[in-house]
């Protein structure tokens, strides 16, 4: 199948080939004909599947005729970064049809947004909070909206936006076409879908499965050795595009600083940064100024950066959905990617849940020559281990973990020999620590990276002060 097969205006074809889309992705194959026929659609698809173009193309086709200067389509997205990305896709196709798109989100001045409303736009890509502010102040009217898209509805729910979404919908005409996309379908999102969609068609790509273009590996390691292990892995990887996920904003900030200190071109992306700084980080990572992005889940939600070779979970995500989301940053649009997860004894339940979702055990890996037995008192204690951990919005399991007394290095254990599955006790437990000769050398570490710092340092050198 190719894009000729859809009843799309032929003006789309050169635009599609200019950006390198030759064949539709599976979600585009399924969703575009339904949306062109005016149907409501519930799309169960992860980011990275091409779902943005799956809704942008039919919307532009629909809006090509009709009035200008009124908002005729609203796309609601959970984060500013995702809103900017979606707006970028509208910008690839809309101008050829005289359609203008604008973003609306908080954390930046409202003035340019007000100017856009005055000038007149047909498409708004918005985060819920700021859009609702504008609506309540009558800065913009949504009375002429024909199409509503709720993107990443599960994340809108996670972030507590569903009441805002319902409030926004009250400003829209009842007669409209509605699309709701979500990677997962918690009950609250299902209820929202029942309320806002009119006899929808469901389009499901891969269900809840984890994207098949990504290979997974676990690196069992004691908590106090995570930074050392990360530095070693990064040193050995052949990559200039790696995203590292941490559990908290504080850890993202400090870890990025540490990587910088050790010669890696790293930048943080976390919710305490201003919107301008977040965008600078993301743009710098996209264009290759930075090779490593150290991010929290919220900040990295939905971001689309092509060519990310590795996602490294410095901290195990709290839920399978968060794992799915994180690893969805690599292996995008039919490329392959690798997902490494550092895990400690405390992560057993989360790992079992991910393995259940995957339907198979994840390979355990160790790094040859890495001293998994190094004790915490041999290193400077890192502030990462002592940093604040949020207690809200996390699973009971992770909350109890946050409250657990600090462990000492000796009891934690590091990675042992690679295992198929089962007990997680990391390589490093003294009894089972691999000898240098017998340790499974990760295939990731066979060649030095062009990014690697000039010298190979010891665990002591990597400690965070």
Q: Which residue, 96 or 260, has its beta carbon nearer to ligand AMP? A: 96
Give the C-alpha separation, 238 to 311, whole Å: 13
Strand boundaries in 206-279, DSSP class E: 214-220, 242-245, 266-269
For the CB of residue 189, give the shortest distance to ligand AMP in the complex, in Å.
Answer: 18
Q: Which residue, 306 or 458, has its beta carbon nearer to ligand AMP? A: 306
Alpha-carbon dihedral of residues 153, 155, 160, 163, nearest 10 degrees?
A: -10
Among 110, 167, 298, 333, binds ligand AMP (CB under 6 A): 333
For the CB of residue 53, give the shortest distance to ligand AMP in the complex, in Å.
Answer: 5
Chain center to CA of 223: 24
Q: Which residue, 49 or 341, has its beta carbon nearer to ligand AMP? A: 49
Binding mask 50-89 for ligand AMP (x = CB under 6 A): xxxx------------------------------------
Q: Which residue, 50 or 427, has its beta carbon nearer to ligand AMP? A: 50
Q: Which two tokens stand for residue 60?
A: 């532009």
Please give the backbone phi and psi of residue 257, each rounded to the nearest 5 degrees, phi first. -60, -40
Please give the backbone phi and psi of residue 55, each rounded to the nearest 5 degrees, phi first. -100, -30
Per DSSP, the residues of 356-391 read HHHTSPPEE-B-TT--TT--GGGSPPPHHHHS----
Q: Which residue, 176 or 301, has its beta carbon nearer to ligand AMP? A: 301
- H helix or E strand, kind and range, residue 195: helix 187-196
Q: Which two tokens stand for residue 177?
A: 């076409």
For the CB of residue 297, give the shortest distance to ligand AMP in the complex, in Å.
Answer: 17
Q: For ligand AMP, how many residues bind (rule: CB under 6 A)?
A: 15
- Within 10 angstroms of residue 47's Cβ, the number of other Cβ atoms is 24
Tell me the CB-side half-sphere exposure of residue 128, using CA atoms within 13 A. Answer: 21
For the CB of residue 212, give the shortest distance to ligand AMP in the complex, in Å.
Answer: 15
Binding mask 1-30 for ligand AMP (x = CB under 6 A): --------------------x--xx--x--
Q: Which residue, 302 or 415, has its beta carbon nearer to ligand AMP? A: 302
For the CB of residue 49, give the shortest distance to ligand AMP in the complex, in Å.
Answer: 5
For the CB of residue 283, give the shortest distance to ligand AMP in the complex, in Å.
Answer: 15
Alpha-carbon dihedral of residues 337, 339, 340, 344, nearest 10 degrees?
A: 180
CA distances from 427 to 339, 416, 463 (A): 18, 3, 19
Among 332, 338, 364, 419, binds ligand AMP (CB under 6 A): 332
Give the C-alpha separation, 384 to 255, whole Å: 8
Give the C-alpha separation, 154 to 464, whole Å: 36
Q: Which residue, 301 or 332, has its beta carbon nearer to ligand AMP? A: 332
**Of residues 27-56, which lie at the interface with ligand AMP (CB under 6 A)?**
28, 47-53
Q: What is the DSSP letter of 374?
A: -
Residue 306, interface with ligand AMP (CB under 6 A)?
yes
**Of residues 245-304, which lie at the interface with ligand AMP (CB under 6 A)?**
304
For the CB of residue 428, give the shortest distance to ligand AMP in the complex, in Å.
Answer: 37
Q: Which residue, 151 or 444, has its beta carbon nearer to ligand AMP? A: 151
Give the C-alpha separation, 116 to 108, whole Å: 14
Q: Which residue, 56 or 192, has its beta carbon nearer to ligand AMP? A: 56
For the CB of residue 281, give the shortest distance to ligand AMP in the complex, in Å.
Answer: 19
- Note the residues at the interface with ligand AMP (CB under 6 A): 21, 24-25, 28, 47-53, 304, 306, 332-333
């Amino acid at each position: 199948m190719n894009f000729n097969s859809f009843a799309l205006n032929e003006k789309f074809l050169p635009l599609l080939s200019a950006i390198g889309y030759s064949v539709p992705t599976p979600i585009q194959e399924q969703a575009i004909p339904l949306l062109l026929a005016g149907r409501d659609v519930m799309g169960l698809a992860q980011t990275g599947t091409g779902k943005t173009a799956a809704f942008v193309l039919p919307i532009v086709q629909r809006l090509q005729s009709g009035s200008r200067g009124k908002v005729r389509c609203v796309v609601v997205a959970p984060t500013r970064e995702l809103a900017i990305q979606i707006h970028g896709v509208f910008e690839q196709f809309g101008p050829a049809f005289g359609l203008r798109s604008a973003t609306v989100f908080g954390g930046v001045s409202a003035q340019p947004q007000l100017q856009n409303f005055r000038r007149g736009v047909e498409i708004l890509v918005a985060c819920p909070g700021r859009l609702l502010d504008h609506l309540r102040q009558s800065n913009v009217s949504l009375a002429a909206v024909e199409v509503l898209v709720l993107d990443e509805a599960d994340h809108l729910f996670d972030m507590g936006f569903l009441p805002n979404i319902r409030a926004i919908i009250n400003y829209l005409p009842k007669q409209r076409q509605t699309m709701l996309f979500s990677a997962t379908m918690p009950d609250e999102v299902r209820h929202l879908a029942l309320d806002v969609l009119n006899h929808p068609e469901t389009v499901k790509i891969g269900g809840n499965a984890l994207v098949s273009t990504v290979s997974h590996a676990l690196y069992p390691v004691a908590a106090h050795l995570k930074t050392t292990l990360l530095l070693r892995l990064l040193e050995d990887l052949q990559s200039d595009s790696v995203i590292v996920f941490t559990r908290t904003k504080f850890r993202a900030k400090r870890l990025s600083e540490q990587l910088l200190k050790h010669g890696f071109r790293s930048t943080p992306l976390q919710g305490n940064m201003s919107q301008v700084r977040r965008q600078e980080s993301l743009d710098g990572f996209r264009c290759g100024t930075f090779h490593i992005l150290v991010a929290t889940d919220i900040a990295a939600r939905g971001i689309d950066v092509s060519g990310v070779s590795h996602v490294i979970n410095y901290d195990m995500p709290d839920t399978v959905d968060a794992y799915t989301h994180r690893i969805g940053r690599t292996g995008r649009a039919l490329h392959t990617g690798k997902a490494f997860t550092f895990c400690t004894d405390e992560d057993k339940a989360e790992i079992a849940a991910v393995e259940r979702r995957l339907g198979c055990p994840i390979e355990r890996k160790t790094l040859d020559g890495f001293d998994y037995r190094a004790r915490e008192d041999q290193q400077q204690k890192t502030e990462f281990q002592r940093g604040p951990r949020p207690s809200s919005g996390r699973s009971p399991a992770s909350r109890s973990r946050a409250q657990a007394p600090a462990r000492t290095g000796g009891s934690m254990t590091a990675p042992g020999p690679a295992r198929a599955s089962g007990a997680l006790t990391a390589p490093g437990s003294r009894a089972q620590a691999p000898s240098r000769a017998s340790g499974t050398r990760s295939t990731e570490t066979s060649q030095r990276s062009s990014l690697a710092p000039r010298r190979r340092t010891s665990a002591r050198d990597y400690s965070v002060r």
